């Protein structure tokens, strides 16, 4: 979380500083309309910078994943940048339109425009001839972007519709990029601000084209085939085993992948619930019936069906130097820990002398399926990991105090949490208050891939 906060504020701060360097006298003018023109430029620059980086992150690039803490954190940054672009775009629109309304209502006097010197640069002349077009289509693209971003932020907006409408933001981005190129102060383009904005707009335009061509993650996709399906009615979960070809690079426990079973629905992320073995090329996904798509999977999937699998992604891989680990898998958040236990069972069998950290696994759950719990207990036993199951109705809620009572050496441990975000934040605050360095030792999967 720390690095994505740094990246977010660094981008906004850098674009602001570069703009100030290009407009050093902006606050020395007593003319309201001169200030208004500067604020229109500034808000447009910041909005397009945020939108450009958000568009690039939509490609799921590998290069920033480790520094940002995983694709789940990158998607959180994507969401923040989208919200920032929305807010700043509204401010941009108000600076543009508000003074016009004020003049019409008689609150401000219309500014007296002097004679503009003739334009000598042919590129600047071409931009000037396109101003009216850029302003008109840019305004409509702004309205469309506001609607699409708001829809993306509505949690209960059906995913199948979200998948289709969210891609339209690539179209509005291309229109707004044209709007920005034409209407940005021409002198900016020869300054450091112009260089940075040109790179961002070019990168965002490339990303938008990839999104519209449906080529996101294409190089990391393989065609798998469903080998088995098992439903656990007590916990409303479907376990899907998929055979993958030689193109699949393998994965670490705790990573996830995108699976596409219906091109109309698009790719959905699922944590991988199996350890990787090159001689047994099979991966397992566990999907809980939480939304409109996952609730219909049991009806739509069948053994032998082809499925596109893309990945792997994620840095929730249990790699640290702590002698003890505490795992907390709440509800369907148990999935990455299942994969890790299977991996540890393999390692203990193949290399029994290899030192491994001591682990305690806590599994709080509201739902119960005895078959699923039996398999979980067997995995924990094979990995030699103490398992603490907390069924809410029988055992009450899991708290930091109960974890610390069960693991007296908790001060020497790192904590790995996957589950509801609010529950994770509450535990993080609880352990921070107890004296644990949560910045370094509390690892939380932000498995909310939808912005």
Per-residue pLDDT of 122-181, as tens digits, reads: 998 999 899 999 999 999 999 999 999 999 888 778 877 888 899 999 999 999 999 999
Residue 120 lies in a domain: yes
- SS3 readout for the chain: CHHHHHHHHHHHHHHHHHHHHHCCCHHHCCCHHHHHHHHHHHHHHHHHHHHHHHHHHCCCCCCCHHHHCCHHHHHHHHHHHHHHHHHHHHHHHHHHHHHHHHHHCCCCCCCCCCCCCCCCCHHHHHHHHCHHHHHHHHHHHHHHHHHHHHHHHCCCCCHHHHHHHHHHHHHHHHHHHHHHHHHCCHHHHHCHHHHHHHHHHHHHHHHHHHHHCCCCCHHHEEEEEEEEEEEECCCCEEEEEEECCCCCCCCCCCCEEEEECCCCCCCEEEEECCCCCCCCCEEEEEEECCCCCHHHHHHHCCCCCEEEEEEEECCCCCCCCCCEEEEEECHHHHHHHHHHHHHHHHHHHHCCCCCCCEEEEEEEECCCCHHHHHHHHHHHHHCCCCEEEEEHHHHCCCCHHHHHHHCCCHHHEEEEEECCHHHHHHHHHHHHHCCCCHHHHEEEECCCCCC
53 & 187 share domain: yes
Q: What is the CATH number of the domain that holds 423?
A: 3.40.50.80
Q: What average pLDDT does this structure show over 226-232?
A: 94
Residue 318 lies in a domain: no
295 & 343 share domain: no
pLDDT the model gives residue 112: 73
Q: Is the pLDDT of residue 348 over 90?
A: no
Confidence label for 229 from pLDDT (cuts 50, 70 and 90): very high
236 & 269 share domain: yes
Residue 347 lies in a domain: yes
Residue 253 lies in a domain: yes
pLDDT the model gives residue 80: 96
Candidate from 74-83, 106-115, 391-400 with smallest mean pLDDT: 106-115
247 & 308 share domain: yes
84 & 53 share domain: yes
428 & 333 share domain: yes
Q: Is the pLDDT of residue 354 over 80?
A: no
Model confidence, pTM: 0.89
Q: What average pLDDT does this structure show over 419-443?
A: 93
Candidate from 57-71, 116-130, 136-150, 243-257 with smallest mean pLDDT: 116-130
Confidence label for 198 from pLDDT (cuts 50, 70 and 90): very high
Tens-digit pLDDT profile for residues 279-297: 889 999 998 887 777 788 8
Residue 51 lies in a domain: yes
Q: What is the CATH number of the domain that holds 306?
A: 2.40.30.10
254 & 358 share domain: no
Higher pLDDT, 348 or 363: 363
42 & 187 share domain: yes
Q: What is the CATH number of the domain that holds 188?
A: 1.20.120
17 & 141 share domain: yes
Higher pLDDT, 272 or 347: 272
Residue 451 lies in a domain: no
253 & 184 share domain: no
Final residue of a domain: which of 180, 212, 244? 212
Residue 450 lies in a domain: no
Give the number of domains in the chain. Answer: 3
Q: Is the pLDDT of residue 449 over 80?
A: no
Final residue of a domain: which of 181, 212, 243? 212
Residue 390 lies in a domain: yes
Candidate from 32-41, 105-114, 262-271, 362-371 with smallest mean pLDDT: 105-114
195 & 264 share domain: no
Domain that residue 297 falls in: 219-313
Q: What is the mean pLDDT of the chain?
A: 91
pLDDT the model gives residue 295: 80
pLDDT the model gives residue 448: 62
| Percentage of the chain modeled with pLDDT above 70 | 98
231 & 141 share domain: no
Confidence label for 277 from pLDDT (cuts 50, 70 and 90): confident
Final residue of a domain: which of 249, 282, 313? 313
Tens-digit pLDDT profile for residues 305-319: 999 999 999 888 898
């Amino acid at each position: 979380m720390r690095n994505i906060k740094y990246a977010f504020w660094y981008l906004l701060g850098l674009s602001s500083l570069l703009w100030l360097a290009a407009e050093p006298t902006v606050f020395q003018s007593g003319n309201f309309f001169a200030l208004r023109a500067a604020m229109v430029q500034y808000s447009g620059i910041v909005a397009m910078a945020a939108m450009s980086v958000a568009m690039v992150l939509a490609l799921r690039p590998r290069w920033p994943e480790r520094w940002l803490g995983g694709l789940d954190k990158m998607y959180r940054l994507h969401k923040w940048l989208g919200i920032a672009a929305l807010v700043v775009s509204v401010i941009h629109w108000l600076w543009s339109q508000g003074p016009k309304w004020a003049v019409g209502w008689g609150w401000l006097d219309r500014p007296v425009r002097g004679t503009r010197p003739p334009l000598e640069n042919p590129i600047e002349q071409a931009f000037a001839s396109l101003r009216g077009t850029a302003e008109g289509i840019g305004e409509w693209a702004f309205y469309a972007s506001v609607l699409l971003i708001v829809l993306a932020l509505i949690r209960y907006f059906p995913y199948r519709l979200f998948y289709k409408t969210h891609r339209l933001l690539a179209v509005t981005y291309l229109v707004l990029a044209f709007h920005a190129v034409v209407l940005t102060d021409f002198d900016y383009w020869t300054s450091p601000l112009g260089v940075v904005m040109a790179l961002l707009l070019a990168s965002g335009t490339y990303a938008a084209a990839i999104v519209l061509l449906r080529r996101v993650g294409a190089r990391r996709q393989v065609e798998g085939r469903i080998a088995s399906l098992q439903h656990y009615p007590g916990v409303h979960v479907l376990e899907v085993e998929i055979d993958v070809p030689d193109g699949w690079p393998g994965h670490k426990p705790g990573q996830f992948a995108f699976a596409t079973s219906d091109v109309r629905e698009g790719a959905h992320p699922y944590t991988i619930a199996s350890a990787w073995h090159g001689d047994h090329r099979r991966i397992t996904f566990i999907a809980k019936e939480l939304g409109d798509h996952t609730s219909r999977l049991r009806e739509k999937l069948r053994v032998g069906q082809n499925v596109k699998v893309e990945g792997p992604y994620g840095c929730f891989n249990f790699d640290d130097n702590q002698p003890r680990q505490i795992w907390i898998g709440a509800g369907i958040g148990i999935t990455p820990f299942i994969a890790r236990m299977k991996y540890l069972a393999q390692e203990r069998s193949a290399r029994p002398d290899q030192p491994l950290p001591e682990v305690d696994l806590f599994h709080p759950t509201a739902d119960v399926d005895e078959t699923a719990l039996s398999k979980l207990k067997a995995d924990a036993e094979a990995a030699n990991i103490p398992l603490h199951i907390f069924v809410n109705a029988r055992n009450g809620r899991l708290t930091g105090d109960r974890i610390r009572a069960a693991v007296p050496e908790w001060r020497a441990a790192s904590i790995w949490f996957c589950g509801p975000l609010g529950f994770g934040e509450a535990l993080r605050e609880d352990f921070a208050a107890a004296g644990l360095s949560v910045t370094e030792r509390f690892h939380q999967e932000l498995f909310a891939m939808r912005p």
